[in-house]
């Protein structure tokens, strides 16, 4: 499938693409908060006042694309593991606080992961396929697979596809207690070399208009996607090779890797071993030092890779190993906590 | 309960419960319809449930009959009068 347009809200100035001209914002907190646009200009206040952050970011990212493509979109597919965890916690707390009495509907409506795709569909009057994938660290990969299958069975020609996640204090605290995040916060310039247990927490939304068929408008192709859970490093390498073989490619056909390094001393070895064993000469790009970790962060990697194909100059912070030849094919490899691993194969259209 | 003070308190509660953006208590006209095209706020059916929850949580007044709800949730005046009549009757 082919990306013909895209939009992104992240901890960097990505909404207006300023990141490519003005550079990367250094993050100094344990949470990399999204830089949100002024929603009042694009979302009616009556809708905006009810929106959870994840819905706000998803709708804010999607509105420019919906405005342009709503008449031709056959459906919306979103990956969002948590939806609005903040609204979920608020809703659950009310059950206790008010002794299972009458509950406010807004928190419940806004808490679910599929509120994002639902709200976008209502705003754009898109009555076609509408689905949300919530399977944690491979939610966005699953959304891609859904889109690829729809295109393969010719059930759709054009889709809105994306990944959205928000930080909430509640899930940050819970995840911190189980050792998800680093005890000692380092700024984002030191993150990848920190080599300590845990990651940093991020949020964002990246949405894409994807077509089944190539056209002049295509900026990048998503060729295929693969997932594996709870693998050993050896199984990751085997999966990568099989994935490329399935697409009639070898490791030599890959020009660049986008890897989800996060400075976690317990799980970065997956990236090292993949790169050293299978792709020792290829360029390597990184992204979690820009936007931190979240379940659907691979959607940001796809956005970044598509911009590379568009000819945007990559910030020096994302280049771990510089390319020595033009980039025609990219392999994105991302895992969440070392448990859920996803591969996304992209190429120049 | 003094009705003028109650109305001011109620306006703030309406703003908080409905998360009205850029609206101050002074912006809410007491006789302006809460719902429908003639109202300033343009509230909808989900908001009506939020307002029923407000009455239940803040004033321990539970409205279960939709016909009664339609008479109460007309404007700030009608809500305040309903509170006065029913809280004092308790």
Higher pLDDT, B37 or A254: A254
Q: The domain spanning residue B46 has which CATH number? A: 1.10.1200.10
pLDDT of residue B89: 67
The confidence band for A333, taking pLDDT boundaries of 50, 70 and 90, is: very high
Check: CB of residue A210 under 8 Å from CB of residue A3: yes
Tell me how many residue pairs between chain A and chain B have CB atoms under 8 A apart.
32
**Domain chopping of chain A, boundaries:** 2-211, 220-347
**Sheet containing A283-286: order of strands:** A129-133, A75-79, A158-165, A204-211, A2-9, A220-229, A340-347, A329-336, A256-259, A283-286, A319-321
Task: Classify residue A107 by burial, with Cβ atoms within 10 Å: 0-12, 13-18, 19+.
Answer: buried
Q: Number of folded domains in chain B?
A: 1
Residues A57-96 have pLDDT tens digits of 999 999 999 999 999 999 999 999 988 888 888 888 888 8
Minimal Cα–Cα distance from B23 to chain A, Å?
11
Rounded distance between C-alpha atoms, residue B69 and residue B50, angstroms: 12
Mutate to test the interface with A, among B16, B47, B59 (most CBs of A within 10 A): B47
Q: What dotted CATH number matches A2-211?
A: 3.40.47.10
Residue A30 has pLDDT above 70, yes or no: yes
Asked if the domains at A2-211 and A220-347 fall in one CATH topology, the answer is yes
Domain span at residue B29?
Answer: 3-89
User: What are residue A31's DSSP bridge partners?
Assistant: A201
Superfamily of domain A220-347: Thiolase/Chalcone synthase (3.40.47.10)
Point out which residues pair with A343 in neighbouring strands.
A226, A333
**How many Cβ atoms are within 10 Å of A89's Cβ, its own excluded?**
17
Average pLDDT of every residue of chain B: 89
Per residue in A201-259, pLDDT tens?
Answer: 999 999 999 999 999 999 999 999 999 999 999 999 999 999 999 999 999 999 999 99
Quote the minimal CA–CA distance from A70 to chain B in Å. 25
Predicted complex ipTM exceeds 0.85: no
B55-89 pLDDT tens trace? 999 999 999 888 888 899 999 999 999 999 998 66
Average pLDDT of the residues in A284-289: 98
Give pLDDT tens digits for A143-181.
999 999 999 999 999 999 999 999 988 888 888 998 999
Q: Do B56 and A102 touch (CB under 8 A)?
A: yes
- pLDDT > 70? residue A33: yes
Q: Which residue of B has its CA nearest to A94?
A: B57
* Shortest CA gap A107–chain B (Å): 10
Which chain B residues contact residue A46 at CB under 8 A? 42, 44
The whole-number pLDDT of residue B1 equals: 67
| Pick from A45, A48, A102: CB nearest B52 | A102
A49/B19 Cβ within 8 A: yes
Of A104 and A72, the one with more pLDDT:
A72
- Which residues from chain A sit within 8 angstroms of residue B21, using beta carbons? 40, 45, 48-49
Helix-then-strand count for chain A, H and E = 12, 13
Please give the residue of chain A at the shortest CA–CA distance from B42.
A46
Q: Taking a C-beta distance cutoff of 8 angstroms, is the pair A33, A204 a contact?
A: no
Average pLDDT, chain A: 95
More confident residue, B43 or A302: A302
- Residue A106 binned pLDDT confidence (cut-offs 50, 70, 90): confident
pLDDT-derived band at B90 (thresholds 50, 70, 90) equals low
Closest Cα in chain B to A104: B50
pLDDT reading at B39 higher than 80: no
Interchain contact, B46 vs A109, CB within 8 Å: yes
Distances (CA, A) of A109 to A9, A25, A83, A87, A253: 22, 34, 11, 9, 46
């Amino acid at each position: 499938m082919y990306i013909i347009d895209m939009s992104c809200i992240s901890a960097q100035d990505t909404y207006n693409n300023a990141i490519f001209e003005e550079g990367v914002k250094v993050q100094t907190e344990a949470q990399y908060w999204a830089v949100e646009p002024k929603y009042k200009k694009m979302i009616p206040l009556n809708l905006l006042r009810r929106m959870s952050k994840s819905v706000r970011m998803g709708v804010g990212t999607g509105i420019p694309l919906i405005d342009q493509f709503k008449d031709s979109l056959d459906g919306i597919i979103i990956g969002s593991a948590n939806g609005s965890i903040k609204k979920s916690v608020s809703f659950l707390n009310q059950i206790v606080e008010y002794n299972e009495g009458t509950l406010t509907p807004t928190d419940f409506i806004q808490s679910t992961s599929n509120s994002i795709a639902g709200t976008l569909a209502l705003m754009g009057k898109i009555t076609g396929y509408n689905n949300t994938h919530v399977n944690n660290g491979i939610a966005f990969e699953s959304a891609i697979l859904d889109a690829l299958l729809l295109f393969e069975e010719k059930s759709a020609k054009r889709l809105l596809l994306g990944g959205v996640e928000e930080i909430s204090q509640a899930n940050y605290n819970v995840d911190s207690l189980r050792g998800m995040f680093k005890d000692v916060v380092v700024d984002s310039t030191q993150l990848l070399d920190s080599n300590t247990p845990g990651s940093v927490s991020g949020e964002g939304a990246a949405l894409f208009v994807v077509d089944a068929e190539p056209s002049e408008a295509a900026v990048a192709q998503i060729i295929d996607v693969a997932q594996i859970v709870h693998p050993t490093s050896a199984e990751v390498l085997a999966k990568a090779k099989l994935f490329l073989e399935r697409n009639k490619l070898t490791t030599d056909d890959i020009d660049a890797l986008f890897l989800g390094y996060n400075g976690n001393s317990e799980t970065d070895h997956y990236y090292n071993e993949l790169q050293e064993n299978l792709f020792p000469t290829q360029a390597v790009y990184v992204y979690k030092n820009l936007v931190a970790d979240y379940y659907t962060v691979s959607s940001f990697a796809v956005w970044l890779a598509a911009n590379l194909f568009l000819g945007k100059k990559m910030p020096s912070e994302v280049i771990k190993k510089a390319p020595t030849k033009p980039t025609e094919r990219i392999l994105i490899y991302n895992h969440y906590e070392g448990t859920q691993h996803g591969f996304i194969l992209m190429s120049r259209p | 309960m003094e009705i003028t003070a109650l109305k001011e308190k109620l306006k703030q509660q309406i703003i908080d419960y409905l998360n009205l953006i850029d609206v101050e208590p002074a912006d809410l006209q007491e006789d302006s319809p809460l719902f429908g095209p003639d109202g300033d706020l343009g509230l909808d059916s989900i908001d009506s449930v939020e307002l029923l929850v407000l009455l239940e949580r803040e004033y321990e007044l539970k409205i279960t009959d939709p016909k009664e709800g339609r008479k109460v949730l007309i404007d700030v005046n009608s809500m305040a009068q309903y509170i006065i009549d029913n809280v004092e009757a308790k």
